[in-house]
Amino acid sequence: MATGNINVSVENIFPLIKKFLYSDHEIFLRELISNATDATLKLKHLTSIGEAGVEYGNPTIEVRIDKEKKQLIISDKGIGMTREEVEKYINQVAFSGAEEFLEKYKDSAKDSGIIGHFGLGFYSAFMVANKVEIITKSYKDEPAAHWVCEGTTEFTLEEADKKTHGTDIILHINEDDKEFLEEHRIEQLLVKYNKFMPIPIKFGTKEETIELPEDAPEDAKPETKTVDNIINNTNPAWTKQPTELENKDYNEFYRELYPMQFEEPLFHIHLNVDYPFNLTGILYFPKMGQDMNIQKDKIQLYQNQVYVTDNVEGIVPEFLTMLRGVIDSPDIPLNVSRSYLQADGAVKKISSYITRKVADKLKSLFNNNREDFEKKWNDIKIVIEYGMLSEDKFFEKAQAFALYPTVDNKYYTFEEFTEKIKDNQTDKDGNKVILYASNEDAQHSYIEAATEKGYEVLLLDSPIVSHLLQKLESTEEKISFVRVDSDHVDNLIKKDEEKISKLTDEEKEKLKADFEKVIPAEKYSIQLEAMDSNAAPLIITQPEFMRRMKEMQQTGGGMFGMGNMPEMYNLVVNTNHELISEILNSKTAKKQERLIKQSLDLAKLSQNLLKGEELTAFIKRSFEMVK
């Protein structure tokens, strides 16, 4: 038997491991299973090239709990290690790896955004065990070795009588970490980290029902048999070629990833690149609707089929974190802080590759089946609009497929739409004016007035639309967006038309003064307009600029301070309307006031602004009037 001192310069490495990695104890199992998988895959390779004189067969990795002995055992049938290899890989290499890690960690600890996954490897076992044994036999014809270490820098190494190649790692679990002797806890960890690893992982057994033969009598009871409980799908969809998969396979994999998700995804994007970085994965567009707060952190990051995290911030562009699915890349550095990650060249390339792939897929869906794309638009627009706002590259690409629906349910690209409206909706200064509504019900009368005039009205109802309009106005030449209720219809698109007013200038002045006596100046600014005598006598509007800035502030952005501005409206008075003449010529001040108040309330009502006490008073007054 050999005893010795593990050659390591960092004193008391074990307490350090425990302390630094305290919050992330559970990753030890992932590390040990990764090692077992590597050892098995190495043997597979060696047998395939005829270098190993043993059978590969169908090896599994087995995880067992021995509650009485307080042990957790991980066994593989991989290449194993000779005594010399244990000396080399465990005592020297693995320790120097741990030392290196601690060196690195000291600096990054200052940055609070550390990712909790370090690849500390074998020695992470000491986070949960006070004693670790390795019993290992190499595929080479050499005796087995037994290594024992009790969490100090001392170890023992002697011969063992293990007959078959492979490695058993025996963890003597700490009193404080008893949870890792519970079956449900271990199963939960295996499912979390190892669900898609390439070598089958066995954890206990389970009962399986044997299907009855077709000609079985009706009252026959199906029998059950005991089978190995295999935790993982060793061949998940993202590791296959897109040509091997059909739509239903993608949907099945979606359910495997999200067993609690009952809705089918709208479509998927298969990522597959091996130069200049290696990345595979499948992203899914779930149904999103209007909800900006859709649960993020649904995309899972893997490295060689080992689960790492579901926080892909910095790797996937922010706007795509609303998607779901899997990304697998060995090229993402994990033992670094978030800020370092975002500055990393490879990661930047990965992020822009993903953006490009998503844009390409959307474009091909649009080109191949526009009708279907239009149907899905309302469920995906939030991601696309958000992407257009946050990534200039995506904005450019999205011009080819971003849709602008009208109130009568027709869908146009920006180019198609501006082409369609250019004759009728260009104002006297040569600007194309794009009219839109954000709520069909609330703005109904304005939409109607605009469509009656032959204008097209878009229905743009996402919560971030004001930002998008701002962006489009600043990138496209000579266009402006105007919401239908931001002015009376004749003023929405200003053209060189002479308007004839029934009233003289003196009459107008008197009228304005009469209105100002009754209407609070801090809420409304009065604007006299000579409109069609059939148009409404009073219209309340809110100027586009002010409203948009307020909206932008509510969703982050806009001009500082605008969000706190009081609500201010324009009250447009149609000087050609009969009622306005009647107000002007009222015999008594009392009657005039009553007419103005009643008309203002009606105008408010049509804008959904009449509420509470004012509404009650209005109803009461109206009943009096019709009596």
Ligand X SMILES: Nc1ncnc2c1ncn2[C@@H]1O[C@H](COP(=O)(O)OP(=O)(O)OP(=O)(O)O)[C@@H](O)[C@H]1O
Binding range to ligand X, per CB under 6 A, among 93-101, 141-149, 351-359, 483-491: 93-101
Stretch that binds ligand X, among 115-123, 257-265, 382-390, 396-404 (CB under 6 A): 115-123
Strand duo 154-160 + 404-405: pairing = unpaired
Q: Which residues contact 229 (CB under 8 A, 6 or more apart)?
A: 202, 203, 204, 205, 206
Single out the residue of 17, 29, 43, 81 in contact with ligand X (rule: CB under 6 A): 81
| Contact (CB, 8 A) for 567 and 549 | no
Torsion of CA 368, 381, 443, 568, to 10 degrees: -140
| 268, 283 Cβ separation under 8 angstroms | yes
Of 41, 47, 99, 119, the one binding ligand X by CB under 6 A: 119
Q: How does DSSP classify residue 151?
A: S
Pair type for strands 224-230 and 201-209: antiparallel
With contact defined as beta carbons under 8 Å apart, do 139 and 80 qualify?
yes
- Between CA 400 and CA 421 the distance in angstroms is 18
| Identity of the residue, 6 or 93, whose beta carbon is nearer to ligand X in the bound complex | 93
**Under rule CB under 6 A, residue 59 binds ligand X:** no
List CB contacts of 607: < 8 A, sequence separation 6 or more. 442, 485, 540
Q: Please state the closest distance from residue 101 (CB atom) to ligand X, in A.
A: 8
**Residue 267 binding ligand X, by CB under 6 A:** no
State the minimum distance, in angstroms, from the CB of residue 560 to ligand X.
Answer: 49
Q: Does 133 bind ligand X (CB under 6 A)?
A: no
What's the N-to-C CA distance of the chain in angstroms?
Answer: 111
Which one of the spans 35-43, 182-190, 334-342, 505-513 is the region binding ligand X (CB under 6 A)? 35-43
Q: Which of 90, 149, 306, 433 binds ligand X (CB under 6 A)?
A: 90
Q: Is 556 left (phi over 0), alpha (psi -120 to 50) or beta?
A: left
Q: Which stretch binds ligand X (CB under 6 A): 86-94, 104-112, 446-454, 464-472?
A: 86-94
Q: Among all chains, which residue has been given the structure tokens 């001040």? A: 589
Site string for ligand X, 141-180 (x = CB under 6 A): --------------------------x-------------
Closest-CA residue to 302 (of 264, 348, 271, 261): 271
Question: How many angstroms separate the CA atoms of 319 and 323, rounded?
Answer: 8
Q: Which is nearer to ligand X, 39 or 127 (CB)?
A: 39
Which residue's CB atom is positioned nearest to ligand X?
121
The distance of Cα 31 from the centroid of its chain, to the nearest Å, equals 28
**Applying CB under 6 A, which part among 32-40, 275-283, 403-411, 556-564 lies near ligand X?**
32-40
CB of 442 to ligand X, least distance (A): 58
Residue 43 near ligand X by CB under 6 A:
no
In whole angstroms, how close is the CB of 346 to ligand X at the nearest point? 18
Least separation in angstroms between residue 37's CB and ligand X is 9
Which CB, 48 or 424, lies closer to ligand X?
Answer: 48
Closest CA to 615 of 600, 593, 625, 594: 600
- The least CB distance from residue 74 to ligand X, in Å, is 8
Is 35 one of the binding residues for ligand X (CB under 6 A)?
yes
Distance CA(467)–CA(165), nearest Å, equals: 64
**Nearest to residue 387, comparing CAs of 352, 415, 348, 436?**
352
DSSP secondary structure string for all residues of 434-494: EEEES-TTTTHHHHHHHHHTT--EEE---TTHHHHHHHHHHHSTTEEEEEGGGS-HHHHS-
Please say which residue, 105 or 258, places its beta carbon nearer to ligand X.
105
Entry field: residues in the chain: 627
State yes or no: residue 60 binds ligand X (CB under 6 A): no
Window of 16-24, 88-96, 221-229, 284-292 that interacts with ligand X by CB under 6 A: 88-96
What is the nearest approach in angstroms of ligand X to the Cβ of residue 159?
A: 17
| Interacting residue with ligand X among 21, 27, 63, 94 (CB under 6 A) | 94
Would you count residue 62 as binding ligand X (CB under 6 A)? no
Residue choice 17, 21, 33, 36 for contact with ligand X (CB under 6 A):
36
Q: Is 308 in the site for ligand X (CB under 6 A)?
A: no
Nearest residue (CB) to ligand X, 122 versus 524? 122
Which of 8, 93, 102, 288 lies at the binding interface for ligand X (CB under 6 A)?
Answer: 93
Q: How far is the CB of 416 from ligand X (least distance, A)?
A: 53
Which of 136/570 has CB closer to ligand X?
136
CB burial string 602-626: b at 16+ within 10 A, e below:
bbbebbebbeeeeeeebeeeeeeee
Interface with ligand X (CB under 6 A), residue total: 19
Q: Which residues bind ligand X (CB under 6 A)?
A: 31, 35-36, 39, 76, 78-81, 89-90, 93-94, 97, 119-122, 167
